[in-house]
Amino acid sequence: MARFFIALGIGAAAGAAIALLYAPQAGEKTRRQLRRGVEDAGERIRDSAGNVSDRATKYYKKSREAVEDVMDTAQNVVTAAKKAANFG
């Protein structure tokens, strides 16, 4: 997913750069627009990477909690089985 957003950002920046290079305007203005476009693309990529990182952390925590719950349940079953075996 992160690779998609990175590729999208790079593609958008490259497309904007090509469009600006062929636009009939002063070089300084074109360079300013290119710089802004690259900065905007960089911000979008950083935001996307941050979102992916946040989601990965969230899912890691949820999966870890689920594993701990399963382990607790298994331990309770083992304990109950031991008690039942001692009474039988």
Q: What is the DSSP string of 55-78?
A: HHHHHHHHHHHHHHHHHHHHHHHH
Q: What is the mean pLDDT of each run of 10 residues along the chain (88 residues)?
A: 76 78 74 84 85 90 94 92 80
pLDDT at 71: 94
State pTM to two decimals: 0.48
Which DSSP category does 25 fall into? S
Domain boundaries, the chain: 2-87
The tokens describing 29, both together, are: 């203005």
pLDDT at 77: 92
